[in-house]
Structure 1
Amino acid sequence: MLGAFVRAFRTPDLRRKLLFTIGIMVVFRIGSFLPTPGVSYPNVQQCVDSQENSTLLGIVNLFSGGALLQLSVFALGIMPYITASIIIQLLRVVIPRFEELHREGQSGTAKLTQYTRYLTIGLAILQSTTVITVARSGQLFQGCPVDVIPDTSWYVLLIMVLTMTAGTGLIMWLGELITERGVGNGMSLLIFTSITASFPGAMRSILGGVGGVGKFVVIMAIIVLVIALVVFVEQSQRRVPVQYAKRMVGRRMYGGSSTYIPIKINMAGVIPVIFASSLLAIPSLIAGFADPTADWVQWVSRYIASPSAPAHLALYVVLIIFFCYFYTAITFNPDEVADNMKKYGGFIPGIRAGRPTAEYLDYVISRITAPGSIYLALVALIPTIAFIVMGVTTQIPFGGSSILIIVGVGLETVKQIESQLQQRHYEGFLR
């Protein structure tokens, strides 16, 4: 991997793309520290330093690189865009028009992207209003003695909402710039930047906490083992062989080739973990606005909100497995794949084209998703359980979703760099 990066910086065009991508990442990190107008920056720093292990909005704070707790211009991070993209994908099942646009190719995809942008801005307005309301009520920084928003007049709050929404729009534009002019997927790289930005502070907290160097070494060993497991499984795939029959088109003969359908063990990616975490955070968020002495609020705090509670861990595993099957069924349509194969004269050896092929693919997907969902649940739980057993109370950015995103984005970016290097190598060879 390091050799690929060295060769990439020796290539002028690729070096320019890499430097452009790094520059956008720097701009993104600078925006994460710019305070929103109306926020008392010294008070925010005092409240952040007094926080212990988690907040109700921990997922959003992780994906914003800590910008949420800073109440900065980029406080919402990339989370509104992720939510909008997932909603648009889910609406393809409900709204036939969206499915038609998906099948139209590039023009339909451009329209869906435009809908995603509009929905992102709407969600940014909603989420920024929620964040400001939670900050004013004291739920964002529990136990903090100072007020992070001294002036609560309506025009100051309106400016804060507009600023955070504009920051989300700017992040969306920066991500698209990376995709268009840089290397890799822009949105994924910005998420990668946000998560990795919180590593140094977390590692310093572990190193300076109870256990010292010994606990730090054990935690690093656990992280390396989990990353190795993720890399091994993410690169694994079931290859379903496909044979194309020969056919004459005019004076030319096409087909007669063999290929395969690559089916990954984890086709849903990190989406099930995000869905499960979001659903489990909803009861805690509702309980935060209720009477803390109520019986149901105490029950939620004891069994649902606590990450170490057995009920919380069991619900987490069940939701991850459910969303693995649910999201895989949305993203991979066996009937559509079978129809496309039949249209171009393709068939699976030993399986008839058409409906039998769709049933066979559905059978394979069901069999593969079972171990894939269990693997995803293990990756999500191993760091949490290990840190609970070791007594680590610091907010750790090494959960299942973080590791999956880091490994996935890293592998995809390295593959794109290597493919561009090979392309330029072949051009030089042909000259």
Structure 2
Amino acid sequence: MVVSRGKTPNAQETFLQMAQASGLRGRILITVGLLILCRLGIFIPVPGIDRVAFSNDLQGNANLGGVIGFLDIFSGGGLSALGVFALGILPYINASIILQLLTAAVPALEDLQKNEGEAGRRKIAQLTRYVSLGWALLQSIVIAVWVTRYAVTPGPLFTIQTALALVAGSMFVMWISELITERGIGNGASLLIFLNIVATLPRSLQQTLELAQSGDRSTVGGIVILLIVFLATIVGIVFVQEGTRRIPVVSARRQVGNRVYSERSSYLPLRLNQGGVMPIIFASAILVLPFSLANFTSNEVVLRIANYLSPNGPTPWLYALFYLVLIVAFSYFYSSLILNPVDLAQNLKKMGSSIPGVRPGRATSQYVQGVLNRLTILGAVFLGLVAIIPTAVEGATRIRTFQGFGATSLLILVGVAIDTAKQVQTYVISQRYEGMVKD
């Protein structure tokens, strides 16, 4: 085997390990098998529903189709198909976001996360499961009441059966995601969302090819421009996701007992995009809210607001501006949850470390906060451009076959792919050093 010790594993070494190392091969097979099982569960239908009437209503109601289309990105088409796994991993993702926000706001949860170690993290994980169950129950009841109009035999029994089926499917998917995280490769919840997004690609590609075959030169040119924009966006996402600002940190010379530790230099990495895809998800959820209210209430004022905040409405510039403002606001909010400059400065002071040219304590926290603010505004503007440009190009070229597959999907795909590849590389490196010990 060709091994590049001390370096990042190359493709040859990685694939050889995947084929020869039983541990890595077993983890990959478990991951693939469980992902296939989750995908098959989407096509198990919830009984007692007139699917023809439901499908016709989706096609005839633009607002309803838009809301379902956005949620289908994360459920892999399960919601529009009304399968048993229609909710998928969404309740678990929502519960994780809620616990992250509560951890920053509730001192008891913050103490569990920071000071209780592994036991505290297990308690937070258990709380996340309970919140997932409650969230899944709430969403299932809403969906069951909503689809009652399409029921073959409507009534309380149909509502209860539908809600229980959806809750059971969601909890099963959550269990599979945790099983993938524990015994497979990568983060289970992220991989399930990745799979659901990828599952929508063949249909979009097929519609694009049919449009290219039946269209004129301008249509083909628009498709080419759209694909180039997507490829350029993917390249930009990779650079920004991996981009970091390295702040130098110097550890002072110190003596512990009879041993003297010399001065050491390291760095503090601050990511350009601290929040990842979360600011876009939050902003998209808020923008979808008027469409949801318009569909369920049929209020004239809400319908008008939803129309103005639509990318295809009379004022697309207002939609773009509002979207950008929301992304910037949520980027700062999520960045403040992830990194606290005051805690960071205190930890550096306790360890006897400092930033060259910056006094420990308050000056350090102010310096880190200033760097973090500049990085956050750059990352937020990039996220805003990534969110708006594909939609603007779709509107200019009038190619709607990738409708819904935009910035959020691209960021999730690229981010999950990078994280999973890093985990595989970490496993290969661990195997490399195990081989060195055996030699």
TM-score by length of 1: 0.91
Encode CA deviations 1:137-186: one digit per residue, 9 max, x unaligned. Answer: 5xxxxxxxxx3x22221112111111111111111111111111111111
Tell me, in whole angstroms, the C-alpha distance in 1 between the residues paired with 2:175 and 2:262.
42
Tell me, in whole angstroms, the C-alpha distance in 2 between the residues paired with 1:203 and 1:276.
27
Give the aligned partner of residue 300 of structure 1: 305
Encode CA deviations 1:200-249: one digit per residue, 9 max, x unaligned. Answer: 01111222235565444333222111101100111111001111123222
Q: 1:57 aligns with which of 65, 68, 83?
A: 68
Pairs within 5 Å for 1:93-172: 93-104=104-115, 105-136=117-148, 147=150, 149-172=151-174
| The 10-residue stretch of structure 1 (121-130 or 47-56) with the greater mean CA deviation from structure 2 | 47-56
Q: 2:271 aligns with which of 264, 289, 299?
A: 264
Tell me whether 1:331 sits opposite 2:338 in the alignment: yes
Encode CA deviations 1:363-386: one digit per residue, 9 max, x unaligned. Answer: 110111111100000111111111
Tell me, in whole angstroms, the C-alpha distance in 2 between the residues paired with 1:118 and 1:255.
49
Give the aligned partner of residue 22 of structure 1: 32
Encode CA deviations 1:260-302: one digit per residue, 9 max, x unaligned. Answer: 111111101111101111111112211222346x3x1442242
Note if contact 1:4-1:417 (Cα within 8 Å) is conserved in structure 2: no
Query: Which residue identity is paired with 1:154?
Result: P
Unaligned runs of 5+ in 1: 138-146
Tell me, in whole angstroms, the C-alpha distance in 2 between the residues paired with 1:324 and 1:334.
16
Query: Which residue identity is paired with 1:162?
Result: L
Tell me, in whole angstroms, the C-alpha distance in 2 between the residues paired with 1:201 and 1:5.
32
Note if contact 1:80-1:120 (Cα within 8 Å) is conserved in structure 2: yes
Percent identical:
37
Tell me, in whole angstroms, the C-alpha distance in 1 between the residues paired with 2:59 and 2:312.
22
Tell me, in whole angstroms, the C-alpha distance in 2 between the residues paired with 1:135 and 1:313.
33
Pairs within 5 Å for 1:274-353: 274-291=281-298, 294=300, 296-307=301-312, 309-353=316-360
Query: Which residue identity is paired with 1:9?
Result: A
Query: Which residue identity is paired with 1:126?
Result: L
| The 10-residue stretch of structure 1 (181-190 or 419-428) with the greater mean CA deviation from structure 2 | 419-428
Tell me whether 1:32 sits opposite 2:39 in the alignment: no
Unaligned runs of 5+ in 2: 1-9
Tell me whether 1:82 sits opposite 2:93 in the alignment: yes
Pairs within 5 Å for 1:191-270: 191-209=193-211, 210=215, 213-254=220-261, 256-270=263-277
Tell me, in whole angstroms, the C-alpha distance in 2 between the residues paired with 1:422 and 1:246.
32
Query: Which residue identity is paired with 1:10?
Result: Q
Tell me whether 1:70 sits opposite 2:81 in the alignment: yes
Give the aligned partner of residue 3 of structure 2: none
> Residues 195, 297 of structure 1: CA spacing in aligned structure 2 closer, same or farther, 3 A cutoff?
same
Tell me, in whole angstroms, the C-alpha distance in 2 between the residues paired with 1:120 and 1:190.
16
Q: Give the C-alpha shift of residue 5 in structure 1.
A: 5.1
Q: Give the C-alpha shift of residue 43 in structure 1.
A: 5.3
> Residues 254, 86 of structure 1: CA spacing in aligned structure 2 closer, same or farther, 3 A cutoff?
farther
Q: Give the C-alpha shift of residue 389 in structure 1.
A: 1.0
Give the aligned partner of residue 5 of structure 2: none
Note if contact 1:40-1:150 (Cα within 8 Å) is conserved in structure 2: yes
Tell me, what secondary structure is at the counterpart of 1:239? strand
- Give the number of equivalent residue pairs: 419
Q: Give the C-alpha shift of residue 255 in structure 1.
A: 6.1
Give the aligned partner of residue 370 of structure 2: 363
